[in-house]
Amino acid sequence: MRVHLITTQAFNDQKPGTSGLRKKVKVFQQPNYLENFVQSVFDTLTVPANATLLVGGDGRYHNRHAIQTIIRMAAANGFSRVLVGQAGILSTPAASHVIRKYRTFGGMVLSASHNQGGVNGDFGIKYNIGNGGPAPEKITDEVYAKSKVITQYKIADVPEVNVDAIGKTEFPGVNAGETFTVEIIDAVQDYADLMQGLFDFSAIKQLLASGFEMKFDAMHAVTGPYAKEILVNRLGASAESLMNCEPSEDFGGGHPDPNLTYAEDLVKIMFAGENALDFGAASDGDGDRNMILGQNFFVTPSDSLAVLAANATLVPAYAEGLMGVARSMPTSGAVDRVAAKLNIPCFETPTGWKFFGNLMDAGKVTLCGEESFGTSSSHVREKDGLWAVLFWLNIIAAKKQGVEAILTAHWREFGRNVYSRHDYESIPTDAANSVIAHIKSQFNTLPGQGFGRYTVKSCDDFSYLDPIDGSVSSNQGTRILFTDGSRIVFRLSGTGTEGATLRIYLEAFEPDTAKHYLDAQVALAEMIQISLQISQLVERTDRTAPTVIT
């Protein structure tokens, strides 16, 4: 096998965000753009002898081309074996599981998650380390540094591999007497086996056979094959209980983000009055996010995490209890109240699943979650959409109650953290930065000020000291904290590809059960106005309404 050293010029825009490098497809299609980033990753790593690399993604446009390129570059950079999900399809949680199960050195996960796909859509790539989780900042920072000075990349003469056929193909290695192996694996079966070992499939199967009606929306994305295998083949759900389960390179022309805005078809089914089904759920482009719905009822991700923690012992895998829980800073404090009652630790981390990895590896936490529709546990090192769906089905089967009944009982016991997130997408970057700068300019004057029935206690930029490795992550979100425990958080997201997404997180604790049935937007109306007043968002961005409200 011949290795070529290709001369290249550096790009200055290859800084990974919270979940890797995401850009428009047309950006990745520039000559050497993908190759530069992949080589920068490989140059950051010390690849041992006989190392295995996992490659796969969410099936979006450009995945197949990228997979062939990465295979050739892996061969040139010292890997002896590459595992590829069949058809290049590999959900992010399944990728984490496969890395852990087969003990690969790491993996290239090709996805832009919940962003749109297609020729004019987005593409993404990130590196996951040997524990199955996203590379920590110390690695991604070095990758970015190398990407700015790269002058050449390595690529080998490996023929195109048929990624649709399960099996193993061997090629002559770079050095005499060596072989380079590409193996196409059935990651769907691997992941389904893992889920069957965690949950009470017998109880869920009985639930689904009892007349319980559900609908799962894969949004034309990666979880379709996984849902068919688990929900239909193993749990006996009807084929009609699935929708949009054929993966598409452009996600059927839709936006594969499981929220009340982009999963509109599912929402209509679940909010159909007396005709609404018992349970609805959706997952995103790469399968790591989830939305949970009951009959005419939406479960916020923050509440979902709290309910899973409070009922974890109903699930076989967690019957002995939880070591601890963790949440991202913007996520509501609902799970904190559960942790306090269970007398287990609760950690508050920055946004980004990589921050949970150290805690899980150290045995500090079992469950963790982010408000952006991501929950998971120590079974993998990524968020896991279908896992969350199965967890809810297991709880419903065990408690013999519907979604709304389970959540309202939870609020009666723990109180309700009324919570909402307002996303303002594709704001010009300068305007978004102006909003944050204006908020920070008031840090010295806001404390003590009254806004209606709320009084500001303090303001800060959230900073996190990792209790395991001692690393510090600063500027993780701008917080306005009120004396009654309510809060407003402003954060610029790193997951978009155009302009900036400014997210406003609003939270107020409500102990009064008589007010638990209020719509979140009604209960938070005063705080929403306070957030706009403090930020001057409308004046500085000309945006009069959020793009998405969750």
- Enzyme catalytic residues: 113
The secondary structure of residue 9, as a DSSP letter, is -
Spatial neighbors of 386 by CB under 8 A, at least 6 apart, are 91, 93, 191, 195, 223, 226, 227, 230, 283, 287, 290
Spatial neighbors of 400 by CB under 8 A, at least 6 apart, are none
Q: Specify which residues 215 forms β-bridges with.
A: 280
State which H helix or E strand residue 411 sits in: helix 403-414
> CA-to-CA distance for 351 and 495, rounded, in angstroms?
11
Q: What are phi and psi of 505, to 5 degrees?
A: -105, 130
Spatial neighbors of 273 by CB under 8 A, at least 6 apart, are 296
The letter for the amino acid at 41 is V
- Using an 8 Å Cβ cutoff, are 531 and 421 in contact? no
Torsion sign across C-alpha atoms 395, 400, 403, 404: negative
Torsion sign across C-alpha atoms 208, 209, 212, 214: positive
> CA-to-CA distance for 393 and 105, rounded, in angstroms?
34
> CA-to-CA distance for 426 and 435, rounded, in angstroms?
14
SS3 542: coil
Question: Residue 469 burial by CB count (10 A; 0-12/13-18/19+): exposed, middle or buried?
Answer: exposed
> CA-to-CA distance for 505 and 513, rounded, in angstroms?
23
